[in-house]
Structure 1
Amino acid sequence: MFPKSFQSLAFEKVSFVVLIVTCGITVTSLPTDIEKGRRKVVHVLEDDSGAVIVQTAPGKVITHRGGSITLPCRFHHEPENTDPARIRIKWTKVTDALQFEDVFVALGRQQRVFGPYRGRVFLEQGGPGDASVIIQNVTLEDYGRYECEVTNDMEDDTGFVNLDLEGVVFPYYPREGRYKLNYHQAEDACKQQDAILASHSQLHKAWLEGLDWCNAGWLEDGSVQYPISHPRDECGRKDTPAGVRNYGYRHKEDERYDGFCFTSKLNGKVYFLKRFKKVNYAEATKACIRDGSVVAKVGQLYAAWKFQLLDRCEAGWLEDGSIRYPIVNPRSRCGGSQPGVRHLGFPDKKFRLYGVYCFLKNKDEREGGTDMKRSPAESLTKSKSSNNIPMNATRVI
């Protein structure tokens, strides 16, 4: 006899869920047409015969680059005297609809960490039923969706955790001009500027904060979109509503657009190098090196504007050969009424003279990297919320 809740489910959802009883265990199974092409996961529901139930945090957890964060996951099973050595905990990252990247696996005392997560991912070890992991020294690439799977003999269950990063989205195009990048070139361009291709949710959040950009750009999922806060005829008609315009998924090799990049908190500091005279690009590069730093990248300047609140009404060279300057407190003589990073284009590197923005790494980075502690519970720090600076200064010039 089914429990009352399952009777209701069996009669009300018969077209979607098939209930199977085997050896006293009640399980749900997806119909064949939904299962096709997907990795099969059987969710075991709790009844009197015993089960594994996984619980993860609703919503998302938030940190920043360089921080530490717990991906919460707890489980319980009945009977409670199940041998802990027979419980397997596995974490994977969902990289695509049908693709998973191994992160961490533990079976009893045996543990293994995979790829770029080595030395950074540990079990939180918060007591019985705790499958949470701590990620230290979070990178931009750690952003995304993670799956926590707990297996006990023939029983298992899974839960998902979304890891978000505090950061800033910025549009990017190279010296060659706009609409010159295919998907892979846009991906590389963002990496060269200390960033990654932004996700749709990151771009949407930036639009909510005021980002307005009339040129379409690649996102990390292969789609091409652009945010419009102030509709106008040259950007898809004035009478259309504001929003994130979407061209859909485009051919990654053949089609060319700009890119939307995402970066987060710096492991260092950006500053304007004070000099008595302006310099060309080569002289700017040498000046930063003599000062113990390097010419700042575009993503680093945006991060400094967002997190350092860097405000400088002086145009300067950046690593890609562009001229920009960050404004937190707008004033008329500094490019308009909105905060943002002003972009003056790509001038002649040899004959045009400007100041320069330099980037100095944190001391531990310069000395060979961050010291990774082996007791992560002691080193876990709470993430701080960022300053919500409007983003609508990055407009088409």
Structure 2
Amino acid sequence: MLGLLRPLLAACWYLQLPGAQGWMPGYSNGFHYQDISNGNGKGEIYFNGIRLHVESPQLSVSATRGSSVTLPCHFHYEPELAAPRRTRVKWSWVPANPTGAGPVPSEAFARETEVMVAMGNRHRSYGGFRGRVRLRRSAPGDMSLVINELQLNDTGRYRCEVIDGLEDESVTVDLELRGVVFPYYSQKGRYLFNFFGAQQACRDQEATLATFEQLFSAWEDGLDWCNAGWLADGTVQYPITAPRDGCGGVDLAPGLRSYGQRHRLLYRYDAFCFSASVKGTVYFLKHQTKLNFTEAVQACADDGSQIAKVGQMYAAWRLMGLDRCDAGWLSDGSVRYPVTKARANCGPPEPGVRSFGFPPPYLRFGVYCYR
């Protein structure tokens, strides 16, 4: 009886599979699927024929905020096809590593967000990517994703998935923003932010909470800060390049000191923020007299600008070479100035953004504006 059923079962599969040319004249996707009777007895079938390959020449891409970036993705067949076939591509995304150090784990893609799907000339983009993404299509098989007006929160790992019949192959590309990490604390004092307060404080200064990778890179570049701050993954850490008492001790090697995960509502620390380049310009406003904070805000407005934010100053200093040895108000009520070429009477002997903290608002300084 089973011997009689096998040809019937094989015929049913033959009707359903795309390679069943005998039942669908004029259509073939070039694949050959063996008869189910040659399978493993669990309803699976074996594949034998043309293979789909999806590749990227760059597994990591970096760009600046506000720019356009291309995430490369190409597919081809082995052996090559004589005629093009109808394929579907889906780009999806996992935000910058939510789990801490190391690469984004594969299981994180269970929580991935759709960016764009396309088939032929039809396409659809989703969420915050709507209207900002397209496929490059510069050559046959080119499914590279172009993202315009790059935003701070666009960083993370992107998956390019190409689907053709029963074939489904993908490749991932990491997107990073070039920027700068800076420590930040409340105007009211140290260690006053819970995790959500730290998030908001960074956003208020045109920045985001830094990731572990961003803080690690900043430490490699020489960032040394002996106050613990929140990171984007909910851990609390701080970078030390010169071990010393009160910062983990002199016997502990340089590196990132970590308190691990902390309760996001109950525990309070400072924040490590990340700022990328801005489209506008940060500049020191030439004014006849020094200004108190209220006058500084109005002076920028009168000049057709707005008072600069801390993240904007750090980005202008690191990425645009802003150098000015004049203290000036910023929007959070702090007073700072940026130095790219250390010199006498401009603070410490290394480049950086110098800070006077949060002086009383009636004191008089210059002001940094943003246009």
Please tell me the TM-score bracket, short chain as reference: 0.7 to 0.9
Shift of 1:263: 1.0
Shift of 1:307: 2.1
| Segment drifting more, 282-291 vs 123-132 | 123-132
Shift of 1:137: 1.5
CA offset digits 1:175-219 (Å, max 9, x no partner): 021111111111111111011111111111111111011111111
CA offset digits 1:260-307 (Å, max 9, x no partner): 111111110011111221111100001000011000000001011112
| 1:230 to 2:248 alignment | no
CA contact (8 A) 1:84 1:108 kept: no
Partner Cα separation in structure 1 for residue 83 and residue 123 of structure 2: 17
| 1:354 to 2:368 alignment | no
Partner Cα separation in structure 1 for residue 309 and residue 34 of structure 2: 61
Secondary structure of 1:268 counterpart: coil
Shift of 1:67: 1.3
Segments of 5+ residues of structure 2 without an aligned counterpart are: 1-31, 36-45, 99-107
Q: Which has the larger radius of gyration?
A: 2
Partner Cα separation in structure 2 for residue 82 and residue 154 of structure 1: 20
Partner Cα separation in structure 2 for residue 84 and residue 177 of structure 1: 64
Task: Return closer, same or farther for 1:250/1:83 CA change in 2, 3 Å cut-off.
Answer: farther
CA contact (8 A) 1:85 1:107 kept: no
- Structure with the bigger RCO (C-alpha within 8 Å, sep 6+) is 1
Pick the aligned partner of 1:212 from 206, 215, 224: 224
What is the RMSD of the two structures over their aligned residues, measured on CA atoms?
2.0
CA contact (8 A) 2:33 2:48 kept: no
What TM-score comes out, normalization by structure 2 length?
A: 0.82
> Percent same amino acid among aligned pairs?
50
- Identify the residue that residue 60 of structure 1 maps to in structure 2: 60
CA contact (8 A) 2:230 2:237 kept: yes
CA offset digits 1:69-108 (Å, max 9, x no partner): 1101111235654985641100111135241111110022
- Identify the residue that residue 256 of structure 1 maps to in structure 2: 268
- Identify the residue that residue 73 of structure 2 maps to in structure 1: 73
Amino acid at match of 2:369: C
Shift of 1:353: 1.1
Task: Return closer, same or farther for 1:356/1:78 CA change in 2, 3 Å cut-off.
Answer: same
Structure 1 runs (4+) greater than 3 angstroms displaced: 22-25, 78-86
| Number of residue equivalences | 318
Shift of 1:58: 4.2
- Identify the residue that residue 127 of structure 1 maps to in structure 2: 139
Amino acid at match of 2:223: L
Partner Cα separation in structure 1 for residue 111 and residue 82 of structure 2: 32
Secondary structure of 1:234 counterpart: coil
Question: Where do 1:15-54 residues align within 5 Å?
Answer: 23=33, 48-54=48-54
- Identify the residue that residue 370 of structure 1 maps to in structure 2: none
Amino acid at match of 1:357: Y
Shift of 1:24: 5.1
CA contact (8 A) 1:64 1:167 kept: yes
Question: Where do 1:118-157 residues align within 5 Å?
Answer: 118-157=130-169
Segments of 5+ residues of structure 1 without an aligned counterpart are: 1-21, 26-44, 361-397
Amino acid at match of 1:273: L
Pick the aligned partner of 2:298 from 286, 300, 318: 286
Partner Cα separation in structure 2 for residue 223 and residue 99 of structure 1: 20
